[in-house]
Amino acid sequence: MKSKTDISIKQLIGWIGIGMSKYHDWKHYQTSEKPPIEPKPHWLLDWEWDAVARYAKAHRGEGYRRLTYIIHHQLRKQMEEYDVQVVVAEALALFPGVHPRIISDNGSQFIAKEFSRFIRFSGLQHVRTSVAYPQSNGKIERFHRTINEECLEIASFLTLADARRQIAQYIHHYNTVRLHGAIGYLTPEDMLLGRRDQRLKERNTKLEKAKKERAEKKKIA
């Protein structure tokens, strides 16, 4: 900064009225819009690392993408430690034999001893994100923003049952209909079920067909 303005960082920080430690914290937490080259090791299981490596080899320079597919959800009057256990257990029941890694913030329900025992009993691994750093669980945070903008802020809920119904409809739309730019304008379901190549092939076929039709119309005109 000094080379451009003749004002040192230390002088500017003094004007703002914050400490140097706070400034360095801000620098540390700056994020980039570009996808990272690779994820942090403790976020992924071995099979996830393999999937990331395969994608990186096939799509060099694009970074990696972590899919957000909403496996299971519940709208409850409260979300205490017991409630979290119920939701996680029901999600696990949908995919028997699968033992995913749970990534959460540091809410009281996630640091409770009973929840830790539940994680061990279920054969799961639990990683808590850095305090006051939601970017470390950015995919679910982005989903929260999306569902707020596209559903919660514009819908009218008459009752709890009505809210559950409308939110379930939106999540079904999010998983199976809504196209996601971060995964090539496909749906999470396409990616989850391995339909990526099939969908891209169908898209390219339609584009080629439309291109030929436009060329034919130009000839006639």
Q: Considering the entire predicted model, what is its pTM? A: 0.68
Note whether 147 and 95 are same-domain residues: yes
> What are φ and ψ of residue 192, in 5° steps?
-60, -40
Note whether 97 and 57 are same-domain residues: no
Note whether 131 and 162 are same-domain residues: yes
DSSP 101: E
- CA 93 – CA 91 distance, rounded (Å): 5
Query: For residue 89, what are the domain limits?
Result: 67-178
Tell me, yes or no, whether 152 lies in a domain: yes
Note whether 161 and 71 are same-domain residues: yes
- Positions in the chain short of pLDDT 70: 1-7, 12-67
Note whether 41 and 87 are same-domain residues: no
Residue 120 pLDDT: 95
Note whether 152 and 82 are same-domain residues: yes
Note whether 82 and 170 are same-domain residues: yes
- CA 119 – CA 124 distance, rounded (Å): 5
Residue 46 pLDDT: 66
Note whether 59 and 74 are same-domain residues: no
Number of domains in the chain: 2
Note whether 142 and 95 are same-domain residues: yes
Residue 32 pLDDT: 44
Alpha carbon 190 to chain centroid distance?
16
Note whether 72 and 60 are same-domain residues: no
- In tens, the pLDDT along 145-199 reads 999 999 999 999 999 999 999 999 999 999 999 998 888 889 999 998 999 999 9
Note whether 50 and 103 are same-domain residues: no
